[in-house]
Amino acid sequence: MDFVKEFSTFLHENKIIRFGDFTLASGKKSSYYVDLRLVPSYPHQFRKMVKYLQNEIIKEIGLDKFDAIVSVPTGGLVIASALAIETVKPLIYVRSKPKDYGTSKSVEGKIQEGMKVVMIDDVATTGGSVVNGIKSLKEEKIKVEDAYVIVNRMEGADEALKEEGVTLHSITNVMQITKSLHEQNLVGDDVLQKVQEQINIK
């Protein structure tokens, strides 16, 4: 069984992806909800996911092509932390807003001008939080050319990151997950159609 099929089944069985009528944090309506913050509660699947992500990064860009791993709290930071341990790479993270005490930094960790990083997040929808993180890194003269997410919701993130000169890679996307579940008769035609319509609407 390939990883995406196995992962999709795992997400569905443990209600990490659910289909129905949901309101997202942005206030937008959605025909499904995916909460990858639940995955670390299943250590075997979590480790398998992180190892798969590691292998994709090795295959596509190579570990020697960047100096550190960076993420934005909170969903992506858990994944990035595990990945940093597996790859023995430094970890830094970007706050959504600078802390209002101490050094008032936006970027936490040991950084230096000109260093190159790979951005990690859990889910990408419009790409807003990742784009904000990329802008904060650029202000510190840190280079970002690649970002990796576990699930791409396919609602504009690719385009938003491209405008910043960053390529978005994903382990899977919501359409692949839904199609895999549909092929296994775990979701019906109506669910597949609703997700398809949502992606096309953007």
Domain residue ranges in the chain: 3-201
Tokens 């699947």: give the residue: 45
Name the burial class of residue 197, with classes exposed (0-12), middle (13-18) and buried (19+) by CB atoms within 10 angstroms of its CB: exposed
Spell 100-132 as b/e; 16+ CB within 10 A means b.
eeeeeebbeeebeeebebbbbbbbbbbbebbbb
Question: pLDDT tens digits for the chain (202 residues)?
Answer: 599 999 999 999 999 999 999 987 777 889 999 999 999 999 999 999 999 999 999 999 999 999 999 998 888 999 999 999 999 999 999 987 655 555 557 888 999 999 999 999 999 988 888 999 999 999 999 999 999 999 999 989 999 999 999 999 999 999 999 999 999 999 999 999 999 999 875 4
Tokens of 190: 């109506």
Residues 6+ apart with CB under 8 A from 154: 173, 174, 175, 199
* Number of residues written out for the chain: 202
| CA pair distance 137, 117, nearest whole angstrom | 9
| CA pair distance 199, 138, nearest whole angstrom | 30
| CA pair distance 167, 182, nearest whole angstrom | 29
Torsion of CA 57, 60, 63, 64, to 10 degrees: -160
| CA pair distance 109, 93, nearest whole angstrom | 7
pLDDT at residue 1, as a whole number: 54
| CA pair distance 176, 179, nearest whole angstrom | 5
Q: Please give the model's pTM, rounded to 2 decimal places.
A: 0.92
Pick the CATH number of 3-201 from 3.40.109.10, 3.40.50.2020, 3.30.390.10, 3.40.50.2300: 3.40.50.2020
pLDDT at residue 103, as a whole number: 56
CB atoms within 10 A of CB 41: 10
pLDDT at residue 37, as a whole number: 95
Contact present, 125 and 155 (Cβ < 8 Å): yes
